[in-house]
Structure formats: structure tokens, C-alpha cells
Amino acid sequence: MFATIVLAIGAAFFVFTSLYALARPAQFAKPLGLALPGADGLNEIRAQYGGFFLISGLAVAAALIGQVPREWGLVVLVVTFGGLICGRLLALIAERSF
């Protein structure tokens, strides 16, 4: 049951993030402190956040509905969020501040 809840929350987060980044890349980037000077910036947000999170969300959803083993979906979540957490921690060390 716990794995089902984790997969459902993960899939929803990934899909929502993806759709927002694909539909409104400038609004998505603004709270992140990113400036998008032109089409290249818009395309980068769509690719990096929209595309990546869409495929990740579909992979997690496939695990949630039993199309692939649940472990695969959990691995996608661990790799993605583990990478984000690791990157944040390294940034804290490099910048020596929040």
C-alpha cells in the first residue's frame, strides 16, 4: 500500500510539473530565478523539465498500473529525487549558504 501511495504521488508530481513546464515555460522558470531571453530558453525549459518529467511520470504511472514492475517506478523516483537532493547538498557545500 505504501509503494502505491508513493508511486501515485510521484506520478502526479511528475505529470503536473511536466504539463506546467510544457504549457507555460516562462512562468515555470520565473520562481526558479531563470531568465529566458528567447526561444532557446523556452525550448530548454520544455525539454529539461517538460520532457524529462513527462517521461518520468509515464514510467512511474506504468509501474503504478502494473505495466512494468513496481520496483522500476520506485527506482525512477529514487534516481530523480536522489539526484536533486544530491545536487542541492553539493550546492550548499559549494556556496556555503542557503
Cell numbers for 32, please give them: 526558479
Helices then strands, counting H and E runs in the chain, come out as 5, 0
Cell numbers for 70, please give them: 513496481
What is the model's pTM? 0.81
pLDDT tens string for the chain (98 positions)?
A: 999 999 999 999 999 999 999 999 999 999 988 888 888 889 989 998 999 999 999 999 999 999 999 999 999 999 999 999 999 999 999 988 76
- Please state, in angstroms and rounded to a whole number, the distance separating the CA atoms of residues 7 and 64: 6
